[in-house]
Structure formats: structure tokens, C-alpha cells
Chain A
Amino acid sequence: MGGAWLQFVASGLTAGAIYALVALGFTIVFNASGAINFAQGEFVMVGGMSAATLVAAGVSLPLAILLALAAAIVVALVIERVAISPARHAGTVTLIIITIGVSLFLRGLAQLVWGKGVFRLPAFSGEEPIAFAGATLLPQSLWVLGGAALAVIALRFFYGRTLAGKAMLATSFNRLAALLVGINTRAVLFASFGLAAFLGAVAGVLIAPIAFTSYDAGIMLGLKGFAAAMLGGLGSFPGAVLGGLVLGLLEGLGAGFVSSAYKDAIAFVVILGVLFFLPGGFLGARSSDRV
């Protein structure tokens, strides 16, 4: 099995890049509200499904993608207004349960609108696998990896360098203080949902050629994306990407070298191990717990 490990790595990167993109979306909402948005997987699904159906209806791919992004953002903003914003003073757990309700709602809606079929988008730049040293990678995987890289750079810049980005972070750390320095905390939540949906839809569009999409695709993406975000360190954008890639690699190598039946379990065992030693994940925020 000498050269096979390279293919296991390629396999892991393909899955990992997908998880990374989803994890970035989790990070955005977490950084604004301190809550996990369990509807993030559904944002991805809405993006992928919209694009896939539009393409099937004859719309050109670039236009379909733009429309899909717009659709996901609109959906997310409406949901923020109707479901999240009215409950913004409630506790984190309540907020999380609301996002679970939202994810059920969106899944149910998607099932009505699009049915239960599985859809696929054409690959952006062909299907011909790229071979290197005996391993192969689909060109679309490079799109996904590139998308994740670009997203993390942009997000890092926005949150690390701009005052608006810092204001979004500040709101999740201390709402009262945020109000007192004049931050519109409602707008922050609103914007973060829009941003998370945008990123989610980008992810949905990028991964649909590889992973396909269906009304219930959000469940798995949500679970894996959450795990990736935790592994990398909740709140950290590079962490989200790192966590996603590591999770994917664990699965790929686990399936290759240990047991494909237990590959998910192997990944979770490793995550548990990491959390026991680094509760904040790889790149979790430096915490201050002094009294």
C-alpha cells in the first residue's frame, strides 16, 4: 500500500475542504452571538439546491450561482428578523434551539420546494482528475480549497483589521459594553447572519459538484462543520479551516489505514483527545478566566 497514502490524503483534503467551508460559517455567527447556528448546514443546502435547480432549468452557471447566493442571503435575513432577533436577549441555549427549529423549517421547506431528489451541479472546470504521484484529485476540490483559503483571508482581514469586524466580535463578548460604545447590536446579528448565509451558499455551490445536494444534506454538513469548528477552535477562522482539513484527513487516513466502517468514530476519538488536552481546540481564542 506504498503510494496509496497519498490518495488517502487527497481523499481527506477533498472532504476536509468541504467541512472547512461549513465551519467558517459557524464561526461567523458564533463570533456575533456566542451561539452555534445549527441552521448553517441548511444555508449551505439552500445555496447548493438553488444553484442546482436553476442550472437544471437552463440558467447559465455563473448567473445561477449569483442568484443562489442572493436567495440564501435573503432567506437568512428573513429568518434573522423573524426568529433570531426577537430572541436575542434569551440565553445561548435558547438561541441554539431556535436555530435547530430554523433548520427543521428550512429542511421541510426545501423538501416541499425541491422534493427529495439528489441534485448535482456541473464541475466548474471539468471532471478530468488531476493526477500527481499516483494519487488523483478532482479539479473541483481545488475550487473548494481555494474558496476556503480566500474566505479565511477575507474574514481574517475583516475581523482582525477593520473596526466594523471588531465591533461584531465585541458584541458577542459583552453586549452591554457594545451598546455603550455605540454599536448597533441588532445590526451586528443581522449582518452576521447575512454573511454566514453568503458563505454557506458559496460553500453549497462549490461542493455540490462533488458531494451533491439534497433537501437533507444540511444535517451531515452541520454536524461535520460543527465538529471541524470545535476541533480548530471555535471563533477562530484559520482554526475553522484547519479543523476542517484535519477532520477530513482523519477520515481519509482512518478509512485507508484502519477501518472504513469506523472512520467517523476514529475522527471523533481524536477530536475528543484533542479537546481533553486543548479544550479550546487548535487555535481557540486565548481565554481569560481570571477572577
Chain B
Amino acid sequence: MTLLAVRGLEKSFGGVKAIGGVDLRFERGAVHSVIGPNGAGKTSLINMLSGIYRPDAGSIQLEGQELAGQPAHRFAAAGIGRTFQNLQVFFNMTALENVMTGRHLRERHSLAAALLRTRALQRAEAQSRQAAHDLLRLVGLCGQDDTRADAMSYGALKRLEIARALAAQPRLLLLDEPAAGLNATEAREIDALIQRLAEAGTTIVLVEHNMALVMEVSDHVVVLDHGRKLAEGTPHEVSSHPGVIEAYLGSAETPAEEAEAAHA
């Protein structure tokens, strides 16, 4: 079942066509990876799928509901959550508050209730607090509840963004390089987390350069190059696609091996 269908999506900046007519389908509960060389347009795609950029042309339909052209918060309300390649953490808050903010769509925002601090609001707040606490534990930030975000290391912030996005319980989660800045062991934890989320029914769109992670978790991989779809298929199909190797993966040898060869 298709959750999100994208047709004829286009976006240019000045002379650069960041995305030039892309069609995509994201199936419910599956993990979709988007890979491609630097500057291929992956982040631009994510920005359009989350409503941050308004596409020049094309449609974005979530279960038949047209979203293109709507403000970003409507995308969120429709069930699309995301993380950022360039961190967008609320540095003026603690880790817990960051995640609690993620629950915005699950909360009520009557100004009167907020000003008067009603019983119902207090109960909801306690609930949010607990949920946020659990999410922090889930992404491996146990015990950091009250750490101010501006005192956290890069890797911790990446996880914090994931927890915050999860707090909104999105149907579609867009992850822009979640494992950047994490080492292989840490990336494995993200790997496990993604798989768990997918099993629970969340559809995932993953942009990542960590090929080990992509190969491990993806059901379906899209390769972008120069704003166009270069290839599409299972991880295996894609990784053996000559065009993909040429443009993106490079020679099969890993650099480490290459270097080790040099040592020898």
C-alpha cells in the first residue's frame, strides 16, 4: 500500500536544478533509502517532503491528500516527521523539553488553559514528560533529561533529533543522515531502532551515506544523481548497478583496505 506518492517533483535554485522531475512511491511500513552523491538533491527532496521548500512543480500526496504548497506545519499535522542533516535542535531547552516539544501535535493548546494551568493540562504535561523520558532512553540518551542541548556532543544531538521527531508519532519519518557522526557500533544502534520503528508500522525514508546501514535496513533504495532518479530497487540491485558504482559508491574496495594495502 502506498503511503506517499510523489510525481513530477521539481525544484531549482538559480541555475541549479536540485530536483528535476522525480517520481517516487513510499510503501507503508517499509524502509526506503535515498542515496546519491553529494549535491544530488537528497536533502532538497526531504525539504520538500516535509514542506520546508515549496516545490516548483509536482505533487506530493499522502494517502491521496495533496500536500504540495501547504505550509510546513500542515505536513507535520498530516503525519510527516523528520530530522535534519544540519542540526536544528532547540538549543535554548533541555533535552527533555526538546522531546516534549515534539509532542506538540498530541497536545492541546488552548491559551486559556495554558494561562490558568488547568488540571487537565497538568495531567497531560505529566504524560508528555513521561513519554519524552522514555523516548530519550530509547535513543540512548538515558540520564540526559535535564542536560541543556547546547552542552551536548554532536552525536548526542543527532539522537536527540530522532527522539524529538518520534515524539510526534509520525506515520512517515524522514531521516537525513542520522548516522553521520556516529561510529560503526553506534550506527548499529540506529539500525536496530529503525528496524523496530518499521516493524511498528512507521514508514521510513532514510538519507544516508553509511552504506553498511543502508544495506542492512532498507527494503527499497532510490539513487539520485543531479536531481534525477538514477536507479531504484532492492539494496542488492542498486549496489551492483554500474551507474551507481560509478557515480556514488566508487570501487568496491573500502578505503581502509586500500590504505592497508598501502601499508603493506
Contacts and interface: CB of A to CB of B under 8 A. Distances in A.
| A contacts B: CB pair < 8 Å | yes
Interface of A: 290-291
Contacts of A290: 47, 86
B6 interface: no
B197 interface: no
9 contacts: A290-B47, A290-B86, A291-B43, A291-B47, A291-B52, A291-B84, A291-B85, A291-B86, A291-B88
Contacts of B52: 291
Contacts of B47: 290-291
Closest 5 CB pairs of A and B: A291-B86, A291-B84, A291-B88, A291-B52, A291-B47
Interface residues of B, number: 7
B67 to A, nearest CB: 18
Contacts of B43: 291
Interface string B37-60: 000000100010000100000000
A144 to B, nearest CB: 38
Contacts of B85: 291
A290 B86 CA distance: 9
Given A291-B43, A291-B85, 4 more contacts: A291-B52, A291-B84, A291-B86, A291-B88
Contacts of A291: 43, 47, 52, 84-86, 88
B132 to A, nearest CB: 23
A134 to B, nearest CB: 47
Interface in B71-97: 84-86, 88
A184 to B, nearest CB: 26
Interface string B142-176: 00000000000000000000000000000000000
Contacts of B88: 291
A47 B47 CA distance: 51
A285 to B, nearest CB: 16
A284 B84 CA distance: 27
B179 to A, nearest CB: 18
A289 to B, nearest CB: 10
Nearest to B44: A290
A291 B86 CA distance: 6
B246 to A, nearest CB: 28
A32 B73 CA distance: 35
